[in-house]
Structure formats: C-alpha cells, structure tokens
Amino acid sequence: MNIFKLMMKKKELIPLIAFVSIAGVGAAYTGLYSLSKSDVIINRKKNPEPWENINPNKPQKFITISQKWKPVEELQKVRKLTK
C-alpha cells in the first residue's frame, strides 16, 4: 500500500518501478526456463548422464537459425559396439 501512495505523490517513479518489475519478472522467467533445458543437471544421482536423453529434433538453443542435425557415423559405430 505504501508503494501506491508513494507513486501517487511522485509520478516520476512509475516508469522506474515498471522497468524494475519487468526486469525482475524476466530474470525469474529466464532462470526457470534454463532449469527445463537438458544441459542443466539438478539431481546427478537420479540421472548422471542426461545428455543421453536429448532429442536431436528439438532445438536446444534459445534461438536456432537454419541448423540441421546429422548423426556422426563414427559415434554411431562406437555406440553400437558399446551396447
């Protein structure tokens, strides 16, 4: 309530409070968004190698511009031999 009274008395604080609020919401959203990505490990005991479960058809970057994924033949051969 005190913030609203202060904003009514000093109108020049309204843009400052708006920008700080938008920056705080954006920072919180970016933090939560990065936790959902596959390269962030929260619990190493439950899933020690999360990179094995990455879907190659789903882009992993925030912005992907004309990127195509091709499997590496040598890696596929090694993966078949180790299984």
Domain housing 32 = 2-82
Task: Tally the domains of the chain.
Answer: 1
pLDDT at residue number 46: 77
Higher pLDDT, 82 or 26: 26
| CB distance 39 to 61 below 8 Å | no
The model carries a pTM of: 0.49
How far apart are alpha carbons 70 and 67 in whole angstroms?
10
Average pLDDT over residues 40-56: 73
Average pLDDT over the chain, rounded to an integer: 81
H or E stretch including 74? helix 73-82
